Structure 1
Amino acid sequence: MEAKQILLGASLMLLAACGGQTSKNNDAALTGNVKIDGSSTVYPITEAIAEEYRVVAPNVKVTVGVSGTGGGFKKFSRGETDINDASRPIKTSEAEACRGNNIEYVSLMIAYDGLAVVVNPQNDWVDYFTVEELKKIWEPSAEGKIMKWSDIRPKWPNERINLYGPDAASGTYDYFTEAVVGESGKSRGDFTNSSDDNVLVQGIATDKYSLGFFGLAYYEENMSKLKVIGVDNGKGVVIPSFESVSNSSYTPLSRPVFIYVSKAAAQRPEVKGFVNFYIDKAGSISKDVGYVSLPAELYTKAKEEFGTFTR
């Protein structure tokens, strides 16, 4: 995390030295507010871009909240926010809530992310998990049944598994349960959950018999405290990394992440300016904060899509 903060600080200093000349839309003259909420997974990208935008548009107040993808969509569907960070596509029920309140929106893909399955560094018995083993651990019927490490593989310790994961409002939780269990939002309930990934990191880092999951970027920030485990989907064990996420070999636990922009909000110059700036910066900033950037042509496509949306 410190290295990433240094990189971000250096980029901000360079941007300030250039007098904010990266802006092509006279952002320095803009005023107003941009309200963002949603995914904790997408938060590091959005906050880093918001920090840079505050330099080129100092009179625009950009606030970034973290209430989870689902919690963010609730606010977004009520018109309380301009942009929602999302680590999964919008659900049918959320889209219906938006329609019910006349909230039109556009979905913009901004980066790729992988989910990291992690254990405590003192764990010396797990070499990898199969997708079937992860399902065996996390499916609803596992509660009260799969309670010890030896319940997964007999040679593993006869010690209780202490599970950690994002809460039910998290898009990461939805994605993991859909990819592993087979149904979004369905899992055993007897695990320590939090909307704050740092709480999960701390729990796993201090618990020898822990097992958890969250976005790859949070593992990258805390790799000295955690041990990442490879996953075998039937085609061999793959460790999550920038390369394995970008080339789609880390399946089924890699995914795109998004921002959703309200059409009403996008008519305001400060929101339109911020989103255009976001798309321009998403590729480089995603790398800086631990995600995998999209191919350049997809950012070009997003820029064109947003331009059409705001006409």
Structure 2
Amino acid sequence: MKLTTLKTAAVVAVATSLMFGTSAQSAGIDPALGDYKPVSGVSGTLKSIGSDTLNNLMTLWAEGFNAMYPNVKIEIEGKGSSTAPPALIAGTSQFGPMSRPMKSAEIEEFEKKFGYKPLAIRGALDSLAVYVHKDNPIECLSMQQVDAIFSKTRNGGLDKNITTWGDVGMTGEWASRPISLYGRNSASGTYGYFKEVALFNGDYKDEVKEQPGSSTVVQGVASDIAGIGYSGVGYKTADVRSVPLKLTAEGSCFDATADNAATGDYPIARFLYIYVNKNPNQALEPLRAEFIRFVYSIQGQEAVVKDGYFPLTKFVAEEDLKAFGL
């Protein structure tokens, strides 16, 4: 992926869709979303199968929704984004949370069975943070350095493999300290997104210690002073710190904050999706419809903030609700 394409992708995917020129409350919740008010006639069971990154957030949404509809049963299973499409196709889930967009092959498989494409809402905005141990003093990394740390292909263009902290300019006791790598497994949407954007569609090094979940990546880095790993910003703990990133060696450094994600200055920002089987010729039944409305209410976006992600605006809510006929 070319540098200009990387920057453009970040701006188009985030700034354009969110229309921050008209609603720039990236750190707070857009009051125009309004409070969620329960309605009658909502009952039944919901099953969510998909992203581990979204597991905590789906649970928070489920708890908030349950508080308003005690008779509704919601089950959450988070084993990776790649598990969402097969579950939707098989009908074993009503929601398929994914930390990446569905791949064309996944969409084609869905369409082959149902005759129409799946729909998705964008539930939250996430910065995919590069974490180091809290005592690691590294101040900034370029995307090319991140690539050379994690990948064996170095498609970002750096001519030298990075294996020690001295290779990124650290001195003293850090100079000869080998870098210890932590990442997700291939079932994860985070794995795929990081591969696409941070590795410039390259290949991971064999030395990356693949973890089953977002939190275990952070735990690994927290217990390893030489460690570095990637995970959603919502999984940050006091034992790790996120490293500011810059697009090129000559660029400026930006941390994984809401403002920097919104402007596209932080180069690894993404939407978090929830895919749904919605027949375009039929209205959603009340249970799924009201859950989606809840996600886009003030209460729903409060859960987003509580889980450490960034809330969305009324503009995004209206776009997605309109697509669902809500």
TM surpasses 0.5 = yes
Judging changes above 3 Å, is the alpha-carbon distance between structure 1 residues 154 and 276 closer, same or farther for their aligned structure 2 residues? closer
Counterpart code for 2:269: S
Contact 1:78 1:98 in 2 (8 A): no
- 1:197-220 deviations in Å (ceiling 9; x for gaps): 22122211111111111001111x
Contact 2:53 2:213 in 1 (8 A): no
Tell me the CA shift for residue 146 of structure 1.
4.1
Aligned to 2:18: none
Residues 1:85 and 2:101 are matched in the alignment: no
Aligned to 1:76: 88
Within the candidate set 21, 25, 35, 2:39 is matched to 25
Aligned to 1:98: 110
In 1: Cα distance, 2:300 partner to 2:65 partner? 12
Contact 1:246 1:292 in 2 (8 A): no
Equivalenced residues, count:
278
Residues 1:269 and 2:286 are matched in the alignment: yes
Tell me the CA shift for residue 188 of structure 1.
1.8
Instruction: Name the TM-score, length of structure 2 as normaliser.
Output: 0.78
- 1:1-311 matches, within 5 Å, as 22-26=36-40, 29-102=41-114, 104-124=117-137, 126-141=138-153, 146-153=162-169, 155=171, 156-183=174-201, 186-219=203-236, 222=237, 224-234=238-248, 235-251=251-267, 253-263=268-278, 267-280=284-297, 281-307=299-325
Contact 1:78 1:101 in 2 (8 A): no
In 1: Cα distance, 2:51 partner to 2:85 partner? 9
- Secondary structure of 2:324's aligned partner: helix
Deviates more, 1:106-115 or 1:267-276: 267-276
In 2: Cα distance, 1:121 partner to 1:81 partner? 39
In 2: Cα distance, 1:278 partner to 1:215 partner? 19
Tell me the CA shift for residue 22 of structure 1.
4.2
Tell me the CA shift for residue 263 of structure 1.
1.8
Instruction: Name the TM-score, length of structure 1 as normaliser.
Output: 0.82
- 1:106-146 deviations in Å (ceiling 9; x for gaps): 1111221101111112223x22111110111122347xx64
Structure 1 residues without counterparts, runs of 5 or longer: 1-20
RMSD: 2.3
Structure 2 residues without counterparts, runs of 5 or longer: 1-34, 155-160
- Secondary structure of 2:198's aligned partner: helix
Aligned to 2:17: none
Contact 1:282 1:293 in 2 (8 A): no
In 2: Cα distance, 1:101 partner to 1:189 partner? 37
Instruction: Tell me: higher relative CO, structure 1 or 2? Use CA pairs within 8 A at least 6 residues apart.
Output: 2
Deviates more, 1:42-51 or 1:130-139: 42-51
Contact 1:149 1:160 in 2 (8 A): yes
Q: Which has the higher helix share?
A: 1
